[in-house]
Every structure is written in C-alpha cells, then in structure tokens.
Structure 1
C-alpha cells in the first residue's frame, strides 16, 4: 500500500489503482446522491406549500432539514475521497419527483388527494434513496472504509425512519 501523503485517506485504505472501475462506479453513485439530495432541497418547499394537512406540511419541512444533513454527509464523503463536490443528475429520481409534483399540483383542489399524492411521492423518493444508499454502503464496506460507511448508515437510518413515518401518515390521511 502506498502511503504517499498526497493521496486521500480513502486511497490509503483501498488502493484505487487496483480497482478503478469500482471507484468510478462508487463516485458516480455519490454524485447521483448529492444531486438528488440537493434537488430535494429545492423541490420540497413547494411540496410543503401544496400540502393541505398541517401534519404533512410540518413533516415535509422536517424532511427538508434531514435532507440538508444528508447533503453535509455527502460533502464529508467527497472530502474523505479528496474529490470535487459535484452532483450528477439521477434521471430516475428526477422523473419520480416531477411526476409526483405534477400530480399534486393537478389535485390541489382536493386536499386529501393532493396530500396522498405528495406522501406517495415522498415514499417513492425515500425508498429509492434507501436502495441507492444501501448499494453505496455495501461498496464502502467492500472498500473497507468505516468513516464513509458510518456516514451512509446514518443517512440510511434517517431515510428508513421517514419512509415508515410517511407510510403511516398516508394510511391516516387516506382513511
């Protein structure tokens, strides 16, 4: 293992020259997650305004705060990797978010329907994020990088909690 001080901490634990494709795939995933979290920060305030239920509005605002923390986690990962902080569009998530927002805007007159659509979108987004972070965490563990794995696991835990919360909220609102 090369201990050149110009290498990042990540390089010291996992010799990237031996696994450039794995690192490239991991970095792309981190860039997608960074873009996703940032686009959520821009989009969710509009969703909070579309919500009719005060509980949903507060929950979306809480989710925004949690998402800001996720952005910080990812920025810390970029720092550990000694990589430039930049996002890369995740087209699947972009489509889910646009569809959910359009459906909520179209149903804004019917409050429970709009709230149900918003919650459905939030659940889809959280579930998608969970899948992405689980893959990234598996890769971080394969790279034997505990600090990155810890950041991802904290994010995963929060996404799981909000996903379960939004599922329960949807059941209450649609009754």
Structure 2
C-alpha cells in the first residue's frame, strides 16, 4: 500500500495556506513568473547604481552587460506571459528586495576600489544564483505543463544567467579578489 500524503491539519507546525494559495503547478508557475518579472524590472533600476560604484573597467562592462540582459529578460518574460495566456503582472519579490538591500549595505560598508568591487561581485553573484534557481525551476514547470514555447524562452534566459555568473567569477579571480586581499594587508 502506497503511503498517503499528510494533510496540512495533520502536520504539527505546518504553515496555514492563504485562501488564495496556489493549488496546482500552473498557479505556482504563475506566481514564480510574476515574482521574477518584478525582480528583473527592479534590477533594471538598481544596476546603474552598481555601475557608478564599480571601479574596475572590466566589472563596469560586466554590470552594463547585465543591465542590457535584464532589460531583454523583462521583454522575454512578457513573451512568456503572452504565450501562456497569463496576465503580465509584477508581484513584489521579497528575495530580490533583500539581495538589493544587502548589496546597498555592502557598498556603504566599503571604500571605492577593489574591496568595493569584490563586494559588488559577491552581491551580483547572489542575485545571479537566485535568478538561476528561479529560471531553472520555471523552465522545469513550463516543460511539465507542456508550455514548450515558454520553456524555450526560459531556457535561453537560464543559459544567459549562467554565463554572466561565470563571467563575474572570472573577473573576481583574475584580479579583483587578490587586489582586495592585498589592500587589507597594507592596512
């Protein structure tokens, strides 16, 4: 006999679902799309601040590239909404809001130069990893739901996010991290 899933009432400490909670994968997919749509739109407004605070020309260029990618990701998400028949609506993403707040804090706690650049890269990679996790999940959901065009679009974005993450790692390990470390030895 196959074990049955416990109901919410049977699990001590279970979180009570809201009345409008997602009941199916499609609804969960929709929640995720609206969440990352908000996140990408906010990134298009916050990345210019990182660009102004970065000193390495290589990092400035990578951040500018991420900005143009984020703008493209917003457009691509709008196509995903269109192909799935889901209303294009941004819903506040608590995770991205926290990552941006943390990024602002790192910039406030560092002097302009290699140490701040290392902090910006660390912050940006946290953003990238969140985006990679989100786009990977949404891609899997779209495939499961038979939303093949949406899955294709989400796979493109996922690939770009992974490439940007790798580029940031390259910038960090090629020079910035060692220069930031040398700065701490001098003080």
- Smaller-chain TM-score range? 0.7 to 0.9
Instruction: State how 1:116-135 maps to structure 2 within 5 Å.
Output: 116-135=118-137
Question: C-alpha separation between the residues in 1 aligned to 2:80 and 2:35?
Answer: 13
1:106 to 104, 109, 114: 109
Q: TM-score, normalised by structure 1?
A: 0.85
Instruction: State how 1:20-169 maps to structure 2 within 5 Å.
Output: 21-107=24-110, 109-169=111-171
Q: TM-score, normalised by structure 2?
A: 0.80
Q: Aligned residue pairs: how many?
A: 156
CA contact (8 A) 2:103 2:120 kept: yes
User: Offset at 1:44?
Assistant: 0.2
**Superposition RMSD in Å:** 1.3
Question: C-alpha separation between the residues in 2 aligned to 1:20 and 1:82?
Answer: 18
CA contact (8 A) 2:66 2:164 kept: yes
In the alignment, structure 1 segments of 5+ residues that lack a partner are: 1-18
Q: Which stretch shows the higher mean deviation, 86-95 or 115-124?
A: 86-95
Structure of larger gyration radius? 2
More helix per residue: 1
Paired residue secondary structure (2:146): coil
